[in-house]
Structure 1
Amino acid sequence: MSEMEDKTRTPRQDRSIKTKEAIVQAAMRLFSEKGYHQTNTKQIAAAAGVSTGSFYSYFIDKRAVFIDVLKDYNDTLQARVEAYMSEINFHNPDKHALLTHLVDSLLLSHEVYIGFNKELSIMYLSDDDITQLMDAQYEAGRIRTLQYLQMGKDELKITDLEAAAILVFESINAIVDVIAFSPHRISIERLKSELVSMLVGYLYI
């Protein structure tokens, strides 16, 4: 830990916790609207309703708050996904309906992060710490996918669950990102329908 990092405040009282949360939320909005490189600490502090000096008592620089924003993004996204997934009956005989609900749940989880996700794609390629954080999130997603496959393994025709979990996670993740964050030439419903048909044909007897 650097000397500057050691001097930043770890909030313990409610007021300090709320101040730091306000800075993180303001940074998320600005990074999403303006981009990382077009946002500075003075703008973040102003958007959070705090002084620039107060900002630096919690974060050593803009990069530090971006990493906190990313951690909050990951935690919130994971909580949303888990909440939606808890509603799914993995023993539903209608596998098309089951997987359609899964894809719709992931799309709803991504909706509020469109602007930030675009900026995150840029930062992923330019900052090793951010790359590591995102890679850890992806690996957690692959592990969770494996756990869900194991829950319904008696109905699956595939035998290598670990390899299948990677294929399923990467396929769903890629197409959900295309639907949520990229322009596309055909309708969302057609993309979802083909994705679900592909997965049903691959996974189930």
Structure 2
Amino acid sequence: MSDRDDQLIGEFPFIPKQERAQQKRNALLESGRTLFISKGYEQTTAKEIASYAGVATGTFYRYFSDKRQLLMSLLEDKLDELLPPEPTWVSRDPETLLASLLQAHYQRLNELELHRVLPELMLKDPELAEFLREARSKIHARILFGLQQAKDKRLTWGDLDLNSVSWAILVVVENSQWIQDQNGSCTTDFHEIAKVICRMVFPPETLEQLRQLADD
């Protein structure tokens, strides 16, 4: 855990070691996740989280200082699943690969649903907002590194500003569901989104060559 994570989460009142105590703590985490999603973060109290988990309010405070610490624990555990995937450009048929990455990412988001809580919390929690900005910057840097590898192999458009393209890709990936909703579709066509992204990166003839290599 980084110093930044320590600052966000703080020191826990108690770290359980016995299985029964760990089960209670996990029940509180799942209870908090469910209530934050259904009621909203501000409308959820520690007492309600404890009651939903079937334990006393005092048990909540045995494991967590407050509901923010519980939410930060959830986010720490699931952060990798909340952040958008990093495309792999130096591969055969990057369009199909990217589509599968996007589909898996949004399936995880829909299972966790924690991303629904973040906009509400980020407005009131500058530390969390900064932490997520830093995490986003790291994803951007890895996308940029992958694009540079592809450009070094002469796979991309020659005149691309890779830094700008990397941010554009990140924005499209993060807003894919919203984009699809604006198109009036009830389901997300990940192949169409992957196609748009890959057209930003690769000339059509390069994509076709990569697809042919994948078929061989």
Alignment map for 1:142-153 (pairs within 5 Å): 142-153=140-151
Q: 1:190 to 1:30 in 2, by over 3 A?
A: closer
Q: Which residue in 1 is equivalent to 2:99?
A: 100
Letter in 1 for 2:66: D
Aligned-CA RMSD value: 3.1
Alignment map for 1:50-65 (pairs within 5 Å): 50-65=55-70
Q: 1:152 to 1:109 in 2, by over 3 A?
A: farther
Q: What are the Cα deviations for residues 8-30 of structure 1, in whole angstroms up to 9, with x where unaligned?
A: 11233433333322211110011
Alignment map for 1:13-28 (pairs within 5 Å): 13-28=18-33
Q: How many residues matched? A: 192
Q: 1:35 to 1:190 in 2, by over 3 A?
A: closer
Are positions 1:31 and 2:36 aligned together?
A: yes
Equivalent pair of 2:45/2:67 in contact (CA under 8 Å): yes
Question: Shift in Å at residue 136 of structure 1?
Answer: 2.8
Q: Which residue in 1 is equivalent to 2:212?
A: none
Letter in 2 for 1:107: Y
Q: Which residue in 2 is equivalent to 1:91?
A: 91
Task: Give the whole-Å Cα distance in 1 for the aligned partners of 2:128 and 2:70.
Answer: 12
TM-score normalised according to structure 1 size: 0.75
Q: Which residue in 1 is equivalent to 2:121?
A: 123
Structure with more helix by fraction: 1
Q: Which residue in 1 is equivalent to 2:110?
A: 111
Question: Shift in Å at residue 150 of structure 1?
Answer: 4.2
Task: Give the whole-Å Cα distance in 2 for the aligned partners of 1:69 and 1:190.
Answer: 27
* Structure 2 spans left out of the alignment, 5+ residues: 1-5, 204-216
Q: 1:17 to 1:32 in 2, by over 3 A?
A: same
Q: Which residue in 1 is equivalent to 2:79?
A: 74
